[in-house]
Amino acid sequence: MPQNPAVSAAAPHLVRRLGLLSSIGVVIGITIGGGIFRTPAAIASRVPDPLLMIAVWVIGGLVTLCGALSMAELAASMPETGGIYVYVREGWGRLPAFLFGWAQLLLIRASALGGIASVFGSYLLRSFGVDVDAHQNWADWLSAAAIIVATVVNIGGVQIGAAITGLSTITKFGALAFLAFAAFLLGGGAGASVHHFVEGGSAVQPGLFGLALISVLWAYDGFADLSFASGEVKDPQRNLPRAIIIGTLLIILIYALANAAYLYVSPVSRIATSKLVAADTMSAIFGPLGVAFISVVVMISAFGSLNGSMLASPRIFFAMAEDRLFFDAIAKVHPRFRTPYVAILLAGALGVLMVLTRSFEQLTDMFVLTIWPFYGLAVAAVYRLRRARPDMERPYRVAGYPVVPAIFLAGVVYLLVNAFVAAPAQTGMVFAVVLAGIPVYYLSFRR
């Protein structure tokens, strides 16, 4: 591959500094952000049946696990900065890889950063007893400020960003476990009941079940983000697959416990109207003190996820610039901090713009609809590369091949078909923006 002058041998390069525990922390830290604390309301409103509400979380977790197992094979075989971008490039060529980066630039990463940051801003206001609905502008500007801080932190170094993400991972995981423990142990005095799991449900429309799955997949997203920073993981052939799989399993476990706790304390109809469900659950059990505690924890959680996402995602633009599929300036590495600072600044600026112009629900739906087709292409590359490059080194092979990748791909197809049927205008707009990258590729980057 021709070497880009912007990243010549004389230029600074990314350094492998992330070990196994740090890598697991990045997976969990990015994934457990705002989803589990904010999306249950949207899911319960779309699936107003308690057992089906739990079922959509379980289905989303199983589909995600199949994707994580498949991505682990690719990550171990190609431990390069850029992750999914690299897998799509090697499996399907430069044009699909460019479209992934194009979508990352315009839709995916900006909507992800905006969605995560909006949870931070909302819970920050709630911690001071401020009505979020009445002061949404305040929440938006606080969210933008959080993105700016995460940008500065990650320019300062990958170890700093990983340390903050790791610390927040311990905090948020422990807090979710505490919430579940408190709900089942003390919830009886706050109206909790096992009858909430079987009573009070209403009919569920198939199309809305699919839209609820979009919200669930937003909460689970992050299982593959570590691959974007593969160039900075120590012993990547061993640590990447182990971190992705262990992190995903732990997330599925804690999400199941948290949702069971929510439903035990409140019926599904009440969850559907609770935008800050974790705060309302703790309020029912502990009163204002519980609200303050969980609000601070969610703020730490959201900022940790925001910081982790900022750590991983700009590496995509860095990898694209190295391949001459993006502007050379994006590939610059800071001479002192050894971080792709231009890419980080770009991601931060787009995130601020998005959080100030879109609602949380718009951001999350846009993110999932845009990135999951590329997840599907990456997982499908497992089949293609096994045939086209059978001699490729594969330190880890996906368990359950070929069934496990096929389950994930079936989930992607269901998600997209349902989205086109249930929300054709929004889905069509997303795909129109992605496909608009085709003429850009042929005019500017084909050669």
Q: Is residue 293 part of a domain?
A: yes
How many domains, in total, are found in the chain? 1
Q: Is residue 8 part of a domain?
A: no
Q: Is residue 2 part of a domain?
A: no
Closest to 280 (Cα-Cα) out of 304, 299, 261:
261
Q: Is residue 1 part of a domain?
A: no
In this structure, how many other beta carbons lie within 10 angstroms of the beta carbon of residue 16? 16
Query: Any idea what DSSP says for residue 400?
Result: T
Per-block average pLDDT, block size 10, for the chain (447 residues)?
40 61 78 80 89 90 88 83 86 94 85 88 84 83 91 72 64 84 87 84 78 87 69 74 84 89 91 87 89 84 76 71 78 76 84 88 87 94 95 86 94 90 89 94 84
Q: Could you tell me the CATH number of the domain that includes residue 304?
A: 1.20.1740.10
Q: Is residue 321 part of a domain?
A: yes
Residue 336's Cβ-count burial label (10 Å; 0-12, 13-18, 19+) is exposed
Q: Is residue 365 part of a domain?
A: yes
**pLDDT per residue as tens digits for the range 283-338:** 899 988 888 888 888 887 788 778 777 766 666 777 787 788 887 777 677 788 77
Q: Is residue 53 part of a domain?
A: yes
Alpha-carbon distance values, 333 to 13, 147, 149, 209 (Å): 7, 20, 19, 44
Domain residues for the domain of 133 are 22-445
Residue 47's Cβ-count burial label (10 Å; 0-12, 13-18, 19+) is buried
